[in-house]
Amino acid sequence: MKTLLCKTFGPVDNLVLEEVERPPLHAGEVRVAVRAAGLNFPDGLVVQGLYQIRPHLPFAPGSEFAGVVLEVGAGVNGFAPGDRVFGLTSFGAFAEQVVAPAWRLNRMHDDIGFDSAAILSMAYGAAMYALFDRGGLQTGEAVVILGATGGVGLAAVELAAIAGARVLAVDGDDERLAHARARGAEAVFNYRTGALKTAVAAFTEDKGAALILDPVGGTLGEEAVRSLGWKGRLLVFGFASGTIPRIETNRLMLKGASLVGVFWGESQRRSDNNDASNFDRLQNWYVEGRIQPHIGARYPLDRGAEAIQALLDGRIAGKGVILV
């Protein structure tokens, strides 16, 4: 099978497309013919050796996919050859086939295409977990989404709006912020034009944000603490800026605020989330037309390295997809 292979940690353009043996199928696992795979920021980090987990070389990057079941391992119930599925794997999705644990797969609704299903797992699944499982989002709350034009950020804007929250979308590009407004943001703010706290104060009539989702970190993450309202919650999701913010905990105390870590991957390993019901809700919302996953770019598998680099360079609004 053809696989986008990382043979040594380094620049993304070191990736090569090669023919390799199919991965073995063990008990509890499912082999899937990949039709589409979603691009995510960690894909670029892991091939450079910059991610917190280093897979054994060689390996294929890619952690979310949609496709058709080819075969199931011993002890697998609920899936059979021919089933349309989407799901997650630690690595290996940028290939013609992938093997994944059955518990990480979901059945696809008949009215959802492979490219759209491929981006429901990571961006929308993570956004659901962050906003609802960890953030306790309530109708009517003032919500600030940082990095609002990335995959998770744009999904979070859409989901928060569906839940009846007032959404302020924050990013550094006016053209890309138009996508956030189209997905339900009540207001948008380009952080290159002024201070986040001032924008949030204007949006909330000086009350501060009830909930802030921060997948960016850096100085913007530090400003986010100052933008919280009384008993506000700051969700620490990631550090796309490349810098971990220094949080002033005295500000949390004075605001009665909470700093909440969001580590969806670990919650999956511990099976302490609402993923099953979350994915059912997401698929229903998609079929009803309430969510419209924005695919900013599509690439064939043989241009996978180019696709990952485009994502790292910030040249893809929403999600990018590799079609297999």
- The 3-state DSSP class for residue 7 equals coil
pLDDT, residue 112, reads 93
Tell me if 275 is assigned to some domain. no
Look at residue 246 and tell me if it is in a domain.
Answer: yes
Instruction: Answer yes or no: do 240 and 261 share one domain.
Output: yes
192 and 228 in one domain?
yes
pLDDT at 267: 84
Sign of the four-CA dihedral 306, 56, 244, 201: positive
CATH number of the domain enclosing 59: 3.90.180.10
Assign residue 229 the CATH number of its domain: 3.40.50.720
- In a domain, residue 286? The reply is no
| 160 shares its domain with 254 | yes
**Mean pLDDT in order along the chain per 10 residues (324 residues):** 96 94 96 96 90 89 97 96 95 96 92 92 91 96 95 92 97 91 95 96 97 94 95 93 90 96 85 86 91 89 95 85 96
Distance, in Å, from the CA atom of 321 to the CA atom of 115, rounded to the nearest integer, reads 7
β-sheet bridge partners, residue 88: 64
**Inter-residue contact 294 to 319 (CB < 8 Å):** yes
Q: How many CA atoms lie within 13 A of 245 on its CB side?
A: 25
Residue 177 within any structural domain of the chain: yes
Per the structure, the complete domain to which residue 58 belongs is given by 2-119+293-323
Amino acid (1-letter code) at residue 88? L
Last residue of a domain, one of 266, 283, 309: 266
At residue 8, the pLDDT reads 94
Distance CA 266, CA 272 (A): 9
| Non-local CB neighbours of 5 within 8 Å, separated by 6+ positions | 15, 16, 17, 18, 20, 58, 59, 60
Instruction: With 0.75 as the threshold, say if the pTM is over it.
Output: yes
Please say whether the beta carbons of 128 and 168 come within 8 A: no
Could you tell me which residues are beta bridge partners of residue 65? 37, 87
| C-beta of residue 35 within 8 angstroms of C-beta of residue 114 | yes
The per-residue pLDDT for 274 is 85
Note whether residue 285 is domain-resident: no
Q: Tell whether 237 and 301 lie within a shared domain.
A: no
Residue 121 has a pLDDT of: 85
Q: Same domain, yes or no, for 233 and 308? A: no
